[in-house]
Structures are given as structure tokens and as C-alpha cells.
Amino acid sequence: MVFKRRDRRTWWTVMATALWPKGGWGRAFRYVKYRMRRLPGTPESIGRGIWAGVFVTFTPFYGLHFFIAMAMAWMMRGNVIASLFGTFFGNPLTYVPIGVISLKTGHLLMGTTFDEKDGRSLLDKFMGAGGDLRDNLWAWLTGAPQDWRGLAVFYDDVFLPYTIGGIIPGIIAATAMYFLSVPVIRAYQKRRAAKVMERLEKKLHRASSAGADERSGTQ
């Protein structure tokens, strides 16, 4: 294939790049900021797209953030591409504090606490839910008895509180990013438009000067 990579990356290389991009996260964030400023559309529509992307990062639907953000941006008449860039708010550097804030807020709103009576940590319950999905899929295929206790514990202690608790901090973070990004994007678009007009005026001036020189030369 024409666009196939010449240097095949190993699974570990892909994972390492996801956790720490080539050039570092600082360079990645600068690239995202640069691309967002150059997006077409009004500052408000781009801001609404960013709002959707940031808000979605406070939900536990990992692997679906891009699709949910795109759908939300479309319903909000926001810039869909901006929503994809907005999901970069959630990354390996921020997922832990986002998860902790969402879980604590969810348990607070529900009047519950994270149950560790069974001795299982948050990571253990994530692993238990994944193991349930794997084992019960195999049990369904082979006709063996199914056991969903690990997934039920994960739903009660993690998924439901995370879903409910992510709403308030998600709205706060997304709204803050909206009001921060809109004036920056508007100023950038005005400055860019002014530079385009300046270049156009210079071209017109050179064209008119060349035309005047030609006319004077023929006389």
C-alpha cells in the first residue's frame, strides 16, 4: 500500500506513544491549540465544539469519547472537528484527577461511599468487570453458567457514580474552556483576516504599479 508505514511499530511502541507522544505532551497541546485556532467557523461554534469535547472527558465511556463528542457538537450546532480536539482535555495526565473528582462527586450526590469491604481497589473492580465480560462471553458461547457479580459491583461502585458525578465538574470545566477559548479564537481570526487583507492590498498595489509602468512605457 502507498500510505503504509515503512517502519512497523510494535504494540509497546504504540502504547508508549499514546502515553507520551513523540515530542512530549507540551508539543502535542501546542499543536492542538494551533489547529483549533485555524478551524473554520465562528468563534462561538468552535467554542461549543470544544465545550462538547471537554464535557465528554468527564464521562466513563472510554473509547467512545470521540463519537459522543461529535454527536453533542452536532446537536449543539458546534464545530465537530473542534469537539474532537476538545477531548484532548482528557489524557493520561488528567484522567486520574478527572476520575477521582467524578467518583467522589457521584458518591456524594448519591449519598454513598466507595465500598472496599471486599478488599478490592478501584483498579481491581475495573479488572473484575473486564474479566466478567470476557468470561461470560465465553460462557455464552459454550453454554456454561454465567456470573455477573464483578460487573454488578463495578456498576454500583464505579460506573453509576462516575456517570452522575461527572456531570457537574464536566459542565464547570467545559464552560470555563468555552469562555477562555472564544475570545482567543476571535482575536486570532481578526488578526489573521487583517494579515490576509494586508497581503491582498500589497498584491493589488504591485499590480497597479506594474500597470502604470507599462502604460507610461508605451507613451
Could you tell me which residue, 9 or 201, shows the higher pLDDT? 201
pLDDT at residue 21 in the model = 53
Mean pLDDT, range 38-60, rounded to an integer? 91
Which of 81-95, 149-163, 187-201 is predicted least confidently?
187-201
Is 106 a residue whose pLDDT tops 70?
yes
Mean pLDDT, range 172-176, rounded to an integer? 97
Could you tell me which residue, 122 or 175, shows the higher pLDDT? 175
Q: Distances in Å between the alpha carbon of 21 and those of 16, 24, 31, 82?
A: 8, 5, 12, 20
**Is residue 154 very low, low, confident or very high in pLDDT (cuts 50, 70, 90)?**
confident
Alpha carbon 74 to its chain centroid, in Å, reads 15
Could you tell me which residue, 121 or 177, shows the higher pLDDT? 177
Q: Where are the domains of the chain?
A: 19-183
Mean pLDDT, range 27-31, rounded to an integer? 61
pLDDT at residue 19 in the model = 44
Mean pLDDT, range 30-45, rounded to an integer? 72
DSSP 72-128: HHHHTT--HHHHHHHGGGSSTTTHHHHHHHHHHHHHHHHT-----TTS--HHHHHHH
pLDDT at residue 211 in the model = 60
Write the single-letter amino acid at 9: R
What percent of the chain stands above pLDDT 90? Answer: 32
User: pTM of the prediction?
Assistant: 0.71
